[in-house]
Amino acid sequence: MSKGQQRKYFGTDGIRGLVGETPITAEFVLKLGWAAGRVLTKGGRGKVLIGKDTRISGYMLESALQAGLSSAGVDIRLLGPMPTPAIAYLTRTLHAQAGIVISASHNPYQDNGIKFFSARGEKLPDEVELAIEAELDEPMHTVDSSLLGKAERVGDAAGRYIEFCKSTIPGNVELRGMKLVVDCAHGATYHVAPHVFEELGAEVIRLGVQPNGLNINKGCGSTHPEAMQAAVLEHKADLGVALDGDGDRLIMVDHKGELVDGDELLFIIAQSRREAGNLKGAVIGTVMSNLGLEHALCALGVDFQRAAVGDRYVMDLLRKEGGTLGGESSGHIICLDCTTTGDGIVSALQVLAALVQSGRTLHELKSRMAKYPQCLVNVRTEKKFDFAASSHVQDALRAVEAQLASKGRVLLRASGTEPLIRVMVEGVDLQQVETLANYLAAAVRQAYEAAN
């Protein structure tokens, strides 16, 4: 396989799509389990963990994966509904050859996906994903009956992960006296996150903890924090914590009901580590990170670098630069000094520890970073569209860049997880930013409609 070989099924965050349409069908996932089992265990017996979020389709896909892995002679450990980062952690501590997550993260219940962790609890490298895709092209065959894989359920998975989360902050940090609103998005953290904060002493008002298979991320969680904002004000809470459906993203709300996004959370954690003298290497953001984050970190003497959008690219640059802290505006924050992947609960704990240790409120700490006005407009594209080849789009892009001059920036990119083209404009004047973003988005929409 050449380095530049294109992946057929794997995207920036595993394999994802609409349930019932290829590749998110029982038939495909059955063979995916078989192919992954053969590659990840190198044809040996091996042990693979399977966890999922709370989507109704998780039952179907879990059974299909289990059957495929068993047919390849691989033993299975079933975790049930568990946050994505918990599966990464348990893969390491249970010494499994791999962990598999059934989730479409912040997407609605109609979508689902499959993503993998290596034995080290890290995303698979490209060459392993390519090897799995190559195996998918081979005819499927079942090992001898005496060699079929066995499945067992891990009964204490949630308890193990709760203890791990608490261990990521100093033992003398307590949340006693704090009132928190915690929104679990009716997702995989519903039976985990509230316990973590309560066991550390906080009073917790719970939201989004009644999953029914269809309500994951629906009007709640990190992508819809309005209910959490209202609850913080209603209960006069110190702050709110909103997670997404699989628990790897985090958005917070301060006591005034104001949102604190991933850029601001990343700044707070970086500032705390800098003051404690344990911040290593550069802090890594993405091309979507607010310019205010870059300027605030520079004022602290902290090197800031941008990766492409996607946690795998943030992780790659962190390793290259020897850093331990990175993240995205969406709230996907990676603390490599604590864990191996983005973890919403762990990230929230790092912010709470910074509050306790500084004696300041979340509002005070986030106010040390001044955000530039930023407008993001999504243009839906059900079919493939090469906006870079459109003269109409490129003319509009040059016009916007000319108006911003040196006082802002523009980013135009295709989403790696959804059929969208994202138009982002950032500058010093909000009205100008919104006008230019809508103008450019309209140009993209016109060009797409003309091409299709």
Q: How far apart are CA 311 and CA 189, in angstroms?
A: 20
Tokens linked to 144: 């001898």
Give the least confident one: 107-121, 271-285, 398-412.
Answer: 398-412
In tens, the pLDDT along 236-271 reads 999 999 999 999 999 999 999 999 999 999 999 999
CATH class of 261-371: alpha beta
- Rounded to the nearest angstrom, the gap between the alpha carbon of residue 241 and the centroid of all alpha carbons in its chain is 15
**pLDDT(11) > 90:** no
Q: How far apart are CA 227 and CA 107, in angstroms?
A: 18
* The predicted structure's pLDDT at residue 19: 98
Q: Which residue type is seen at 412?
A: L
Mean confidence (pLDDT) of the chain: 95
To the question of domain 374-451 being in CATH 3.30.310.50, the answer is yes
The CATH number assigned to the domain with range 15-156 reads: 3.40.120.10
Q: Do the bridges between strand 374-380 and strand 420-427 make them parallel or antiparallel, or are there none, so unpaired? A: antiparallel
Q: Which residue type is seen at 18?
A: L
Contacts of residue 54, Cβ cutoff 8 Å, sequence gap at least 6? 81, 186, 187, 188, 190, 211, 213, 216, 245
Whole-angstrom CA distances from 16 to 13, 34, 61, 332 are 8, 18, 12, 18
**pLDDT(420) > 80:** yes
**pLDDT(408) > 60:** yes
382 band by pLDDT with thresholds 50, 70 and 90? confident
CATH class of 176-257: alpha beta
Q: Which residue type is seen at 120?
A: R
% the chain with pLDDT above 70: 99
Tokens linked to 230: 């209202």
In tens, the pLDDT along 35-82 reads 999 999 887 789 999 999 999 999 999 999 999 999 999 999 999 999
Where are the domains positioned within the chain?
Answer: 15-156, 176-257, 261-371, 374-451
Phi, psi of 341, rounded to the nearest 5 degrees: -155, 175
Q: Is 406 a known active-site residue? A: no
DSSP character at residue 145: G
Instruction: Tell me whether domains 15-156 and 261-371 share a fold.
Output: yes
Q: 57, 70, 71, 105: which is the annotated catalytic residue? A: 105
Residue whose pair of structure tokens reads 């790696």 in the numeric block: 416
* The predicted structure's pLDDT at residue 3: 43
Q: At what angle do helices 84-93 and 157-167 cross, to 10 degrees?
A: 90
Write the Ramachandran bin of 54: left for phi over 0, alpha for psi from -120 to 50, otherwise beta.
Answer: alpha
Q: How far apart are CA 240 and CA 197, in angstroms?
A: 12
In tens, the pLDDT along 117-159 reads 999 999 998 899 999 999 999 999 999 999 999 999 999 999 9
Tokens linked to 203: 């009073």
* The predicted structure's pLDDT at residue 406: 79
Beta strand extents in 163-281 (DSSP E only): 179-183, 203-207, 239-243, 250-253, 259-260
Q: At what angle do helices 430-451 and 391-404 cross, to 10 degrees?
A: 170
**pLDDT(5) > 70:** no
Residues 71/9, Cβ–Cβ less than 8 Å: no
Tokens linked to 176: 């006693």
Q: For residue 215, give the 3-state DSSP assignment.
A: coil
Give the least confident one: 197-211, 354-368, 407-421.
Answer: 407-421
Tokens linked to 188: 């995989």
